[in-house]
Structure 1
Amino acid sequence: MSPLERAVQGWLNHLRVERGSSVHTLAAYERDLRRYVDYLATQGIAEVREVAETHVAGFLAWLREGDDDHRPLAATSAARTLVAVRGFHRFLALEGDTEHDVASAVQPPSPPMRLPKAIALEQVERLLSAASVGDTPASLRDRALLEVLYGIGARVSEAVGLDVDDLDLDHASVRVLGKGDKERVLPVGRFAIESVSAYLVRGRPALVEKAKAAPGGALFVNQRGGRLSRQSAWTIIQRAAERADLTGHLSPHTLRHSYATHLLDGGADVRVVQELLGHASVTTTQIYTMVSAQQLREVFAQAHPRAR
């Protein structure tokens, strides 16, 4: 074994004995560091004290670029490999094998920004219609739930956490408790009001009757009269998506993304959308403007005679 390989084995032994790392974690780290040691060998490095920050940065660049024998790694895979390298060098510095941690300043690559998944208004309407099959208490609840998710852009946890007392249907508003227990009062559209009103009159009372204990104030309840869970909300959307013949992954957050995107497409100010969504920073909201810009490019590419 080279001195570098012995140092790697020392760190892996430390993880196994002192940290109790799993076999899978150790195998992944060993695989990543074997690749690192091989790269350092090509740079003429055989001792841990010979490694500099430029070598760690060079290794990361090599991972991203690849060569004739290695395909380029995606940002997430390269970042995972760098975790092993950084942990290794942090261990060496703490043990006194190196004067300082040469990898601490090398930052992992940022993963590509994933644009939020939004669906077209026509697809939203199909989904909402498919949620209410018949006039049963459950179907009235399902339609009301989806109308609320899309109508106010609520997170699924916010929607299932609503109580009846949070609604002010006379003033078309609802009080929502968001992340960090931050409260916001949101306007509610006519379609959501009508669906929720129908559910409160003809749906919720029938479901609450089945409750074994005294019913709480939950707005959306399950078949046993208890508060609807987040998982049940997911299931409701999946069933509606199947009935609406909508392909792709749809979730409660899809309706939140669609709410924000459609508001911006309709001319809403990004700061207003930020307040409606309950984002702490406008930077989070601005990602939706990229969705709208992408939609503009797609429309341009399809409609303009000289776009292609």
Structure 2
Amino acid sequence: MELKPTPPRDAKSRYLTRKEAHVSEKTLYNYNTALKRFLEYLATQNIEDMRNVDSDEIARFEAWRLDDVKPITARNDMRTIKNFIQFCESIQAVPVGLHELVQTTKVSDEDEICDDVLTRQEAKAILKRLSKYDYASLRHVIVLTLWKTGMRLGGLRALDVGDFDEGRPAIEIRHRAESGTPLKRKSKSERDVLITPEVAEVLADYISTQRPDVTDDHGRKPLIATDYGRASRTTITKHVYLSTSPCFHNGGKCPFDRDADTCEATQWGHASKCPGSVSPHALRRGYVTAARNAGQPKDVTGDRVNMSGKILDKHYDKGSYDEKAERRKDHLRDI
């Protein structure tokens, strides 16, 4: 089979177009980021045609990437590259079978596990601050919902006003890929999540007094909305980073000896630069840990956050040895 001349950027564009209809916005973003790095590397090697990409060049890319990122990030990148190369085989841009020579980065158990987590004590302080000074604001609703349900950022962003059932009260999470809000596990991520009357009251007040009266590009009424329509993942993440900065919720005292008046991390869009701020996923880990410490069964917690028990134990339950021992206390028998 004769290979066809294919510029890397064209192969990347065709690959992302193929994936677009089948994966979530976040997954597509991750694919694009990994391939952008790969194309940057190819440019440094003056490779302008996929026919000149071989397994040795891909291995060199892995080494190049490991100079800048952790092994877990390199592994995820290499998985994307492997799949991309397989796609390139299907369009006759690279030799058939090349993807089988792509090795994914080896990762230790320690490197694979992220300990970034928001504690229950921190969450209570943050929500107290938001309830007092930013009640029923978009930021309040974002942090409150993520913490009280443990849902993924994509699930939060996918919510419409009609998905909030004030009477039960509950939040109904649905997969709507055809109108721009796919869930990570597609229909398997669909579920109803019960919330407390207190949380429901905040959501109801937000909808009636703070939420902009807007629709998205598909005519839907997003729950998490800005003046321009459905809030982007970036906007939601910025609100979380800012809300979880220690000086935001501990009376303005910086634990890192920075001057709050000049610290760049106190500005909108720069809060991720604060060593103490965390991403939305840290709230998911925090919820799981707090729920398990409170005695909520593993299967109940897993169903609520749409997660298997194995993944919950390995990546999300950040309870200390002491906390986990206390959980087992009531189940112990003298034998």
* TM-score range for the pair, normalised by the shorter chain length: 0.5 to 0.7
**SS of 1:292 mapped into structure 2:** coil
Aligned ranges for residues 128-277 of structure 1 at < 5 Å? 128-131=127-130, 134=133, 140-177=137-174, 178=183, 179-182=185-188, 183-204=190-211, 207-208=212-213, 216-224=220-228, 226-242=229-245, 243-244=248-249, 247-277=275-305
Residues matched between the structures, number: 219
Deviation, structure 1 residue 273: 1.2
Check 1:219–1:110 CA distance in 2 against 1; reply closer, same or farther (3 A cut). same
Aligned equivalents of 2:207, 2:117: Cα separation in 1? 29
Q: Tell whether the 8 Å contact from 2:134 to 2:140 is kept in structure 1 after alignment.
A: no
Aligned equivalents of 1:250, 1:20: Cα separation in 2? 41
Aligned equivalents of 1:150, 1:77: Cα separation in 2? 26
Q: Tell whether the 8 Å contact from 1:238 to 1:250 is kept in structure 2 after alignment.
A: yes
1:93 alignment partner in structure 2? none
Aligned equivalents of 1:187, 1:30: Cα separation in 2? 47
**SS of 2:205 mapped into structure 1:** helix
Aligned ranges for residues 261-300 of structure 1 at < 5 Å? 261-279=289-307, 281-287=308-314, 291-294=318-321, 296=323
Deviation, structure 1 residue 289: 7.3
**SS of 1:267 mapped into structure 2:** coil
1:19 alignment partner in structure 2? 51
**SS of 2:318 mapped into structure 1:** helix
**SS of 2:319 mapped into structure 1:** helix
Check 1:20–1:249 CA distance in 2 against 1; reply closer, same or farther (3 A cut). farther
Range with greater deviation from structure 2 (211-220 or 108-117):
211-220
2:23 alignment partner in structure 1? none
Check 1:77–1:222 CA distance in 2 against 1; reply closer, same or farther (3 A cut). closer
Q: Tell whether the 8 Å contact from 2:153 to 2:281 is kept in structure 1 after alignment.
A: yes
Aligned equivalents of 1:219, 1:77: Cα separation in 2? 32
1:9 alignment partner in structure 2? none
Q: Tell whether the 8 Å contact from 1:16 to 1:26 is kept in structure 2 after alignment.
A: no
Deviation, structure 1 residue 236: 0.8
Aligned equivalents of 1:165, 1:199: Cα separation in 2? 14
Task: Give the letter for the 1:219 counterpart.
Answer: L
Cα deviation digits, residues 172-203 of structure 1 (max 9, x gap): 11111342233111111233212212101211
Task: Give the letter for the 1:271 counterpart.
Answer: D
% of aligned pairs identical?
Answer: 17
Cα deviation digits, residues 46-72 of structure 1 (max 9, x gap): xxxxxxxxxxxxxxxxxxxxxxxxxxx
Deviation, structure 1 residue 215: 6.4
Aligned equivalents of 1:218, 1:21: Cα separation in 2? 44
Check 1:262–1:287 CA distance in 2 against 1; reply closer, same or farther (3 A cut). same
Cα deviation digits, residues 213-271 of structure 1 (max 9, x gap): 996311111133x1111110011112212322584340111111111111111111111
* TM value normalised by structure 1: 0.57
Q: Tell whether the 8 Å contact from 2:113 to 2:314 is kept in structure 1 after alignment.
A: no
C-alpha RMSD of the superposition:
4.4
Check 1:141–1:277 CA distance in 2 against 1; reply closer, same or farther (3 A cut). same
Correspondence 1:119 to 2:141: no
Aligned equivalents of 2:316, 2:217: Cα separation in 1? 47
Aligned equivalents of 2:73, 2:282: Cα separation in 1? 27
Q: Which has the larger helix fraction?
A: 1
Check 1:223–1:26 CA distance in 2 against 1; reply closer, same or farther (3 A cut). same
1:44 alignment partner in structure 2? none
Q: Tell whether the 8 Å contact from 2:285 to 2:317 is kept in structure 1 after alignment.
A: no
2:107 alignment partner in structure 1? 110
Task: Give the letter for the 2:303 counterpart.
Answer: E
Q: Which runs of 4 or more aligned residues in structure 1 lie more than 6 Å from their structure 2 counterparts after TM superposition? A: 74-80, 210-215
Q: Tell whether the 8 Å contact from 1:238 to 1:251 is kept in structure 2 after alignment.
A: yes
Task: Give the letter for the 1:233 counterpart.
Answer: I
Q: Tell whether the 8 Å contact from 1:142 to 1:236 is kept in structure 2 after alignment.
A: yes
Aligned equivalents of 1:140, 1:161: Cα separation in 2? 18
1:29 alignment partner in structure 2? 60
Unaligned runs of 5+ in 2: 1-44, 64-69, 80-99, 175-182, 255-274, 327-335
